Structure 1
Amino acid sequence: MKKSILNIVILSALSFGAVAADNVAGDKLDYWNPERPAVQLGAEVIDLTGKGPEAIALFLATVDRLQADDEVLQIAKNAVENNKKIAPEYAKIMERQAQIRGVEVHELYAALLQMDWSVNKLLAEADKKLMAENFTKIRGCTTIAFNDSGIVAQSNDLGISQLQEFPTRIVKTDDVMFIPTDGGHFQGMGRHVGAVLNIIGEPSAKTASVDADNLVTIDAVFAAITHSKSIEDAISKLQGYTTPVAMNFTVADDSAALEISAEGLVVVRGAGGIGHANHNAAMKKRILGMMPITEANEIFADSFAREAAAQNFVDFAKEKTVDGMKYILNQKPINITLYDKDFVTVETMIFDTKKGCAHISGDNPLFGEYSQVCFDYGLLSSSLLSIAGFPTLIR
């Protein structure tokens, strides 16, 4: 759901498009047929294959992070030992990163949690008017997984300034590829399982109390899932724990949605796969008891429409492939272009665990293109460029 700036890598001119067009990024576009040049062409891959945990910690220590509030620092402190239990290898990397930065490790976990905690506070009030004003803060992100395909995908929707200011990156290691956010592990895939997310927040499920003793942070959940051998393995690691804010992790070796909150872990599956947006079934039922679905869909920023479109596609798609995911991620209402509010699809990601490849767009895929990176070097379709001998960039 977020991107972080990297200080040590010099962007090449290829990262940002300069295609002549009538519209530029930031202009209001036609809803059905939006056109503008790409801001970013593909993604940058930080290739740390074979370099070990130390190189990962060194890299993450260069990524800008948020400053956490006192209550978020306390929550993160309570999660440190639990993070070690569900994601021990990742926890060691974070401890090393903390040493490099000269801070306590819980400060790093807190920085990763801060944005979702802040957004969730806006949603904790169930009043209809306040919901209408605040739900657009989490208006985006659709997650999709096909059954029995090993393929999971997400549209990542943020303010357009994120697209204009911060390049899209993915970290590649021996066994995991992930989007680095605020110095930690977010959407990604391992050798067997891929995972993406939606924040579903207080309207969908209870927020954890500050002093809860079963807290784990969102980045550690991603690390636990992507280091798992199967969805069932991931579920077994996460049972009994809660993320501070209600979250959905859509995962694939076959497919499922894992909704985690203070109310527990709920596993959701569909006949052909799973489509998910920024709400759960209980929240949708509650809201539709307050207002008709047309009004609710408008207030909740197309969340119900996006879920229905995604679920309909996975249930009936004839070919459950990466190309199928690329198709649905281009369609309304899942794909968000700048039409009314300054909030757009800034990138999409598709993780194919069976082929061991990630496909990442550096912009809304309607305008940009995908970069492919695979665990097997023989599958890479891009050229290599080494910058200052540190990360290798793959375009």
Structure 2
Amino acid sequence: MKKLIYVITLLFILINYATAIPNDNVIKTFNGEEFHLTGDYYHPNITDVNQKMTPVIPFEGLSTHGGQQIVDGYKQAFKHDVMGDFINLQLSLVKKQISSNDQHTIIQNLAVIRKQFPELINFWQGLAAATHHTLEEIYLVAWSEEGLFANEIQKDTNNSLEKMAEITKKGSACTSIGWSNGILGQTQDMNVAYSGWGAIWQSPTLIVHAPTPFFTSIVMGKKLATTTNIIEGLRQGSGKNGVPISAVIMAIAAKIDNVYKVPALFAALKTNGAYSPSFVDLKNQIITIEITNKGNKVIDGTKKGYVVHTNHPIGEEKRLVKKYAQGNRQLFDNLSANTLWRLATAKLRAIYSPTKSVDALKNLFSVKPILMQGYKGNAFITTNAIIHDLKAGCTYGTTWSPNLQDFTKVCFVN
């Protein structure tokens, strides 16, 4: 058993600024509200709502003016400078956790973005102008959204079993599921401390679900929709040598019309984190790509008509359980925030649901084990949920637990 202490990998870890669970089980969220953990797994608290509404922020898209509109939109929706506060917070963390030399390495990858996604440069320049920062500072923040997260996981892969079990309760996970008919959705599971600033951005060609101001990788374009799941820990991204995956996926959704064009883009890129985004297009094509620093794996769901993914490399379950938990499947699953249980549940729904629809996913996202709720000693919950209906041109999102908040419907205006 002692050998096991050093081998199970940290799939889900809350980076330093997220509030840990104090003895009184009270969590403070991004917007300063308190969440009180009560009950147990099957009888969790269902009364605290940290964000009662989902603001929809209009912007023109990935342009300089679009960036400025996003900053102003947050101010109007939340009555204070959310974007500015978040940027200052992230920059302080970067300064504490990333050396000057490594910051320089990170910023060098702006050249990659300029070449392949110049629209992101324009957008970030708008954010910079509206918040009185430099482009380089904005890029560091964009990188830090996943980069700091991955950095913490990689530093802590040798923690004790007991420590990892506690960290799992404070981390981040997701369940994604979609069909080739254009319906694609995901729950976002993370520490309740991350909640409180969620919004949906709406432009004529791009709709972005942003649970935090720089986590922008769950998006719908006019011809392509995407969700993004994490596999960091069991796999690794390229850290300081990689570009921010959230921003890149947002840009891809804005301009790509075919899921089979996406793998080549990532084959030519290093990303700061190991993630598994899923993509669906209007041609009834759907794929998931597991993106790592050792190469990428494409999981093609077009022929079977669906994809599902949680937080481990698909198809390697037996090997992972043997390697990380000496064959104890339940132990591996529990320490990995029920990744196997959620995958099996989502797969059954993907295959057997009588309708492959928005309502089918709304129902799935409201029940355990897909729905994670807070309870005493556990602040690891489903903080929000997203469902795209690409063919209808509408997407649905919550900025709080989907069993406590109605989905907000946002559509492209023809």
Q: Which range, TM-score by smaller chain?
A: 0.7 to 0.9
Could you list the per-position Cα deviations for residues 145-194 of structure 1 after superposition, in whole angstroms to 9, with x for gaps in the alignment?
Answer: 21x2112111112222343xx24211101100113433573321100111
1:263 is aligned to 294
Q: Distance in 2 between matches of 1:207 and 1:167?
A: 26
2:251 is aligned to 224
2:179 aligned with 1:143: no
Could you list the per-position Cα deviations for residues 336-378 of structure 1 after superposition, in whole angstroms to 9, with x for gaps in the alignment?
Answer: 011350121111111111111111123211121111010027x
Q: Distance in 2 between matches of 1:242 and 1:52?
A: 22
Segment drifting more, 55-64 vs 173-182: 55-64
Change (3 A) 1:244 1:53: closer
How many residues in Structure 1 have an aligned counterpart in Structure 2?
A: 349
Percent of aligned pairs with the same amino acid: 21
1:76 equivalent among 101, 106, 114: 106
Which amino acid counterpart does residue 320 of structure 2 have in structure 1?
I
2:115 is aligned to 85
Alignment of 1:270-349 (within 5 A): 270=301, 271-281=304-314, 284-289=317-322, 290-339=326-375, 340-349=377-386
Long gaps (5+) in structure 2: 1-11, 15-30, 72-80
Q: Distance in 1 between matches of 2:266 and 2:39?
A: 42
Q: What is the deviation of 1:278?
A: 1.8
8 A contact 1:193–1:229 mirrored in 2: yes
Which amino acid counterpart does residue 232 of structure 2 have in structure 1?
G
1:252 equivalent among 260, 274, 280: 280
Q: Distance in 1 between matches of 2:43 and 2:131?
A: 47
Q: What is the deviation of 1:131?
A: 4.7
8 A contact 2:170–2:379 mirrored in 1: no
2:22 is aligned to none
Could you list the per-position Cα deviations for residues 225-284 of structure 1 after superposition, in whole angstroms to 9, with x for gaps in the alignment?
Answer: 212112123333322212122111122223221211211222113424111112213764
8 A contact 1:75–1:244 mirrored in 2: no
1:28 is aligned to 38
Q: What is the deviation of 1:60?
A: 3.9
8 A contact 1:157–1:344 mirrored in 2: yes
Q: What is the deviation of 1:52?
A: 7.9
Could you list the per-position Cα deviations for residues 107-165 of structure 1 after superposition, in whole angstroms to 9, with x for gaps in the alignment?
Answer: 2222133243333234335547365454445443211221x2112111112222343xx
2:17 is aligned to none
2:276 aligned with 1:233: no
TM-score calculated relative to the size of structure 2: 0.75
8 A contact 2:62–2:119 mirrored in 1: no
Long gaps (5+) in structure 1: 3-15, 17-23, 378-395
Q: Distance in 2 between matches of 1:58 and 1:155?
A: 29
Segment drifting more, 245-254 vs 61-70: 61-70
Change (3 A) 1:38 1:177: farther
2:79 aligned with 1:48: no
8 A contact 1:141–1:155 mirrored in 2: yes
2:21 is aligned to none
Change (3 A) 1:366 1:222: same
2:25 is aligned to none
8 A contact 1:135–1:301 mirrored in 2: yes
1:155 equivalent among 187, 206, 217: 187
2:69 is aligned to 59
Segment drifting more, 133-142 vs 73-82: 133-142
1:9 is aligned to none
TM-score calculated relative to the size of structure 1: 0.79
> What SS is found at the alignment partner of 1:264?
coil
Change (3 A) 1:140 1:183: closer
